[in-house]
Amino acid sequence: MVFRAEVIGCGIGGACAALAMAKVGGRVHVYEKSALTAEVGGWVTLGPAASTALDQIGLGEKVRAAGFPVVSVSTVDTRTGRAKSFARTEPGHRWSSIHVWRKDLLALLRERLEQEDIPCDYGTGGDPSERTGDLLVGADGARSATRRLLGNPQEPTYTGQMIRYGHCPVPVSGLPTGVLHFWSHSEGVAGYVGDDRDGSFWFSRRNADSGAASTDPDVFLAALRATQVVEVLERSEVSAPIALYELEPEGRWHNADTVLIGDAAHAVSPSAGRGATSAIEDAIVLAKALRRANSIAAALESYTEIRRPIAQATYRPGSRRQAPRVSPADLQL
């Protein structure tokens, strides 16, 4: 099917959707409200399915080289001392998880848009109500205007937790690299992953009543001072406390020619470690549905049928470990 698509938002989901749709016959135009040069902070750990999906748009290798592999997870409950570990791989997917700076991931995606001659207007914002294509893809994040245009009343709600992140250019000497460490405690969880090239990445997430900026920034560091991460704490560049929001994956995701992907449709707390991976999966599943269906409306129906149950299971606390996952076959364009 040949179609003209407009994508609102050139974040991780929107850029992947543009690249994937161009591969299946779409003539795509992207609109991004932020300037191209805007500083993008932080990093993401992408799941194995993200690598499979990025391979489909020719970027897997570059993203893996920009980041580093996270091969396993080690958890300690500091109240009981109980420790567990498991692989950060998934059946059928060739690669383990990847840890990558968000700015590097976005730069690679946006560079590829340019190489593929997919126009992206930066710094202008897109108005989802003024459209010219056959398909409008709302990849405009958790506070999506496209979602409101669809008449979906969902809005993000505060998760009850805030987070601080830190980075130090050297890894912690006493902890293995490429392993995601979690230390849970009565107020939240602290985490760390290190790499010989890229250094130490840590976070501390804890309960906070209101998500207010008045929360004492130092309380976040206490949980890390009780771990080996203390070695790099004072030398780290540290973020301010960030309030965490989530968006229930309910309400209308599409009509006959408009569809939501990524955080615009379903935003999980970073505690799930799935948001960016889900946005990338959405992009590929949407493009695949467009390739297979004989109308845009049928493709959007099929995309929602596949993606909504996965988003619902990922969103519901307690069900994440059993959450249905997209199969590698679903991610072959």
Interface residues toward ligand FAD, by CB under 6 A = 8-14, 31-34, 42, 44-46, 125-126, 139-141, 145, 163, 242, 262-264, 267, 270, 273-277, 279
CB 14 within 8 A of CB 260: no
Residues 6+ apart with CB under 8 A from 312: 249
CB 11 within 8 A of CB 104: no
CA-angle at 313, arms to 45 and 220, nearest 5°: 45
Of 60, 16, 45, residue with least CA distance to 273: 45
Instruction: At 298, give phi and psi (nearest 5°).
Output: -65, -35
Q: For residue 135, which amino acid is it?
A: L
Min dist. Cβ of residue 51 to ligand FAD (A): 12
- CA distances to 69, 157, 160, 330 from 245, in Å: 27, 5, 8, 29
Of 332, 219, 205, 211, residue with least CA distance to 273: 205
Q: Could you identify the residue written with the tokens 């948001």?
A: 275
Give whichever of 211 and 298 is closer to ligand FAD, judged by the CB atom: 211
Give whichever of 171 and 273 is closer to ligand FAD, judged by the CB atom: 273
Min dist. Cβ of residue 305 to ligand FAD (A): 20
Min dist. Cβ of residue 280 to ligand FAD (A): 8
Instruction: At 68, give phi and psi (nearest 5°).
Output: -140, 155
Give whichever of 43 and 183 is closer to ligand FAD, judged by the CB atom: 43
Give whichever of 34 and 295 is closer to ligand FAD, judged by the CB atom: 34
Min dist. Cβ of residue 189 to ligand FAD (A): 13
CB 201 within 8 A of CB 224: no
Min dist. Cβ of residue 40 to ligand FAD (A): 9
Please give the structure tokens belonging to residue 110: 């946006």
Give whichever of 1 and 313 is closer to ligand FAD, judged by the CB atom: 313
Give whichever of 163 and 174 is closer to ligand FAD, judged by the CB atom: 163
What is the C-alpha separation between 288 and 206, in angstroms, rounded?
39
Min dist. Cβ of residue 169 to ligand FAD (A): 20
Q: At what angle do helices 275-292 and 48-56 cross, to 10 degrees?
A: 40
Residues 6+ apart with CB under 8 A from 305: none
Min dist. Cβ of residue 153 to ligand FAD (A): 18
Give whichever of 8 and 296 is closer to ligand FAD, judged by the CB atom: 8
Min dist. Cβ of residue 43 to ligand FAD (A): 7
Give whichever of 139 and 296 is closer to ligand FAD, judged by the CB atom: 139
Backbone CA torsion sign across 302, 313, 156, 181? negative
